[in-house]
Amino acid sequence: MEPFVALADPTRRRIIEALSDGPLSSGEIAARFPITAPAISQHLKALKTAGLVCVRSEAQRRIYQIDPAGIEAVAGWAEGVRRHWAARLDTLAGALSAKDDGDD
């Protein structure tokens, strides 16, 4: 699953937000949501498949944490879009300013 497809779901975004404070077990994550543990498990699987979280086992518990590489990929894409539009908006601002200067 592609990261943006995974992040399109609001529950998955909230899971990522919860994990931004640090690793959590699947049970700790499930306790934060009004849906079943199996549903949370499916969301975690989608996030793992998308490369946004990674998991490790500690005895009987599965501990999830953000996968920095996946988050960096999303952030890099967003930064590229921001730079693209920032340049276009700067050009527009300059054109509007030049038009205003010419109206005197």
User: For residue 2, what is the DSSP state?
Assistant: -
Quickly state the pLDDT bin for 103 (edges 50, 70, 90): low
Task: Give all domains of the chain, ordered by start, each with its CATH number.
Answer: 3-102 (1.10.10.10)
Question: What is the band of 32 on the pLDDT scale with cuts at 50, 70, 90?
Answer: very high
Is the pLDDT higher at 91 or at 70?
Answer: 70
pTM attached to this predicted model = 0.76
- pLDDT, one tens digit per residue, over 57-87 is 999 999 999 999 998 988 888 888 888 787 7
Percent of the chain scoring above 70 in pLDDT: 96
